[in-house]
Structure 1
Amino acid sequence: MALHAVDDIDDAIDATKSFLFPFEKWTWLRMAFVVFFIGGGGVGLNNVQSFSNFGDFGGNGGPGGPSGPGSDFQLTAPLETVLSLPGDFALQVSEPGVPSGVPDELLAGAGLLVFAVIGLFILLALAYGVLSNFMEFVLTQALIDREIHVRRYFSEHVGNGIRLFLFRLVLGIIWLGIALVIGAAGFFLVLGGEAANVGASSVLALSGLFIAVFAVLAISYGIVFGFTTVFVVPLMTADNGGVLSGWSRLWGSIKRHPKQYLAYLFFSIVLQIGVGIVSAILGIIALIVVGIPVGLGAFALYLVVQGTVGIAVAGVIGLLGGLVFIVLSALIQVPLTTFLRYYAMLVLGDIDADMDPIPEVRSDIRAE
């Protein structure tokens, strides 16, 4: 019996080339935008710098002087006289009632700013996660039609995107609940529900069991999540059905052809590893191509301008370079993601012709 997971690799390459080539700029840019939400393509760069300035006031200082043992420095001249002294001497003294250090208002403002930035990142992450569900259908519809229209496909599949989001959310809650129940069962049944019994020896003794159990949970979750993405989403896109109805059809096919789906699972993992290696190599090349000139340009501008303005200009150049790298990373993912999705849909259609989401693509590439 032929394994479609083996036979369809070449067809997936042909389908990818027929869609993306000859190169068309706007097709690739729109696809990069969609793939960015599905396959990542983002970069986080965190640069933290700390500056500490301190001065040392002292002298020969005998007893009773600033550096003398057991002395308490006190202001013995009027404050107006001290403030009139030359240099930085006036900055080294203080008296009760004269504020020193960072004002509380400034600290409070800095704290609010930090929380605001953290909240913004959380909101962006949530929006990214929600939008990824809708972009799954935009990508799939583009692969079916062999053309990309982001706004049209998005509006056509709003309902599907909501259903997919809710399914993934419930799926995650169920698997997390199972993990918590298993963990609680181990705590109460094995450790007697006593926190005092939790120690290095008990943790070490149970570590193998828990690793095995949670590995099974992680693998099963990954399979359900992955099959939903590469098989059920195309079924929903082609037939405008729901997630559960799509899974009902897919589960029936899995029971009829278990070897074909196991073969796909194995070869898809192998292909994803290969695609990941290619993506990493191209990503490193893109980082070098963008990072070196941007870094040198930002540093040169800082040396010319210097000061706060120089730091700001260098930061803007670095930000623009980061955006360019994000775009390049997304463009790199376009043919790789397209290949993997076409591969899954070709396998699905060959296993069960009634569930084929891309019959026209299949007939065209095989006729050639």
Structure 2
Amino acid sequence: MALHAVDDIDDAIDATKSFLFPFEKWTWLRMAFVVFFIGGGGVGLNNVQSFSNLGDFGGNGGPSGPGGPGSDFQLAAPLESVASLPGNLALQVSGPGVPSGAPDELLAGAGLLVLAVVGLLILLALAYGILSNFMEFVLTQALIDREIHVRQYFNEHVGNGIRLFLFRLALGVIWLGIALVIGAAVFFLALGGEAANVGASSILALSGLVIAVFAVFAISYGIVFGFTTVFVVPLMTADNDGVLSGWARLWGSIKSQPKQYLAYLFFSIVLQIGVGIVGAILRIIAFIVVAIPVGLGAFALYLALQNTIGIALAGVLGLLGGLVFLVLSALIQVPLTTFLRYYAMLVLGDIDADMDPIPEVRSDIRTK
């Protein structure tokens, strides 16, 4: 029996070429926008770099800190009286132009600012996660039609996006609930329900079991999540199935052709590793191409002005460089993601023709 997971690799490359080439900039930019939202933009929080210690721009403070040489800071009360007051409230800062209680106000303002930034990041992460469900259908519809209309496809699949979001949320809750139940069972059965029994020796003794359970949960969750994305979403897009009805059809196919799906699972992992390596190399090249001129330009601005304005302009240039790198990363990911999604849909249609989401694409690339 031929393995479709092997035979369809070349066809997936041909399908990718037929959609993305000849190059059309708006197609690529729209696809990059969509790919970014489904997590294929090749960027993440780990890529955010923090820069500090650029120099002392105040010119007045010394390294010795408050009360040290070159500092105008002093205590407004004797040291022996400070400890007797609640919370050391007698500790104040005095100096030219510094009002009483300013440190407390500054700390409160800084705390509010940090909370606001953290809250904004949480809201952005939630919005990103929710939008990713809708963009899955925009991407799949674009691959089926071989053209991209973000607003149109988004509006057409609002209901599907909501259903996918709820399914993924329920999937995570169920897996977390099962993990908690297993953890509670281990705690009560293996440790007698006593927190005092939790120690280095007990953790070491149970480490093998914990690792095995974690591996099973991670693999099973990844398979369900991944098959939903690459198989059920196309069924929902092309045949108007719901998540559960799509999974019912897919499960019937899996039971009848387990060898084909296992082969896909294996080769898809291999291909994703290969695609990840290629993407990483291209992003490193893109980073170098962007970082060199941006870094030189920012450094030149700082040397030319050597003031707050120069620092601000250098920062703006750095942000623009980061944005350019973000766009380049998403563009790099476009053909890689397109290839992997076409590959999954081609395998699905070859396993079961009744579930083929891209019959026209398949016909066109195989008649050439």
**TM-score, normalising length from structure 2?**
0.88
Q: Which amino acid aligns with 1:239?
A: D
CA contact (8 A) 1:43 1:326 kept: no
Deviation per CA, 1:192-236, whole angstroms, max 9, x where unpaired? 011100000000000011100110010000000000000000000
Q: CA deviation at 1:183?
A: 0.8
Cα distance in 2 for residues equivalent to 1:355 and 1:272: 23
- Of residues 41, 50, 60 in structure 2, which corresponds to 1:47? 50
CA RMSD of aligned residues (A): 1.9
Q: Secondary structure at the match of 2:310?
A: helix
Aligned 1:96-115 pairs, distance under 5 A: 102-115=102-115
State the alpha-carbon separation in 2 of the partners of residues 151 and 100 from structure 1.
55
How far, CA to CA, are the matches of 2:334 and 2:69 in structure 1? 62
Counterpart of 1:224, as a letter, is V
Residue 4 in 1 paired to residue 4 in 2? yes
Corresponding residue number in structure 2 for 1:86: none
2:349 alignment counterpart = 349
**Code of the aligned partner of 2:195:** A
For residues 214 and 94 of structure 1, the distance between their equivalents in structure 2, rounded to whole angstroms, comes to: 57
Whole-angstrom CA distance in 2 between matches of 1:118 and 1:302: 30
SS at 1:246 equivalent: helix
Partner SS state of residue 43, structure 2 = coil
CA distance in 2, matches of 1:258, 1:46: 45
In the other structure, the counterpart of 2:253 is: 253
In the alignment, the residues of structure 1 paired with residue 290 and residue 41 of structure 2 have an alpha-carbon distance, to the nearest angstrom, of: 19
Cα drift, residue 328 of structure 1? 0.2
Deviation (angstroms), 1:94:
5.7
The 5 A counterparts of 1:202-281 are: 202-281=202-281
- How many angstroms apart in 2 are the aligned matches of 1:48 and 1:112? 22
Deviates more, 1:178-187 or 1:37-46: 37-46
Query: 1:46, CA displacement in angstroms?
Result: 3.8
How far has the Cα of 1:47 moved from its partner? 1.5
User: Residue 103 of structure 1 aligns to a residue in which SS?
Assistant: helix
Q: Count how many residue pairs are aligned between Structure 1 and Structure 2.
A: 335
Give the whole-Å Cα distance in 1 for the aligned partners of 2:146 and 2:223: 27
Deviating above 2 A after TM superposition, structure 1's stretches of 4 or more consecutive aligned residues are 40-44, 48-58, 98-103
Instruction: Tell me, in whole angstroms, the C-alpha distance in 2 between the residues paired with 1:216 and 1:40.
Output: 28
Letter in 1 for 2:306: Q
How high is the sequence identity, in percent, across the aligned residues? 85
Aligned equivalents of 2:122, 2:94: Cα separation in 1 = 43
Displacement of 1:57 after TM fit? 4.2
Contact conserved, 2:141 with 2:237, CA < 8 A, in 1? yes
Gaps of 5+ in 1: 59-65, 67-71, 74-92
Tell me how far apart the structure 2 counterparts of residues 48 and 28 of structure 1 sit (CA, whole Å): 32
Q: Find the counterpart in structure 2 of residue 150 from structure 1.
A: 150
Do 2:32 and 2:41's aligned partners in 1 also have CA atoms closer than 8 Å? no
Instruction: Note the residue ranges of structure 2 that are not aligned, 5 or more in a row.
Output: 80-92
1:138 aligns with 2:138: yes
CA distance in 2, matches of 1:346, 1:322: 36
- Of structures 1 and 2, the larger Rg is shown by 1
Letter in 2 for 1:56: G
Which letter does structure 1 place at the counterpart of 2:25? K
Q: CA deviation at 1:149?
A: 0.2
Q: Give TM-score, length-normalised by structure 1.
A: 0.88
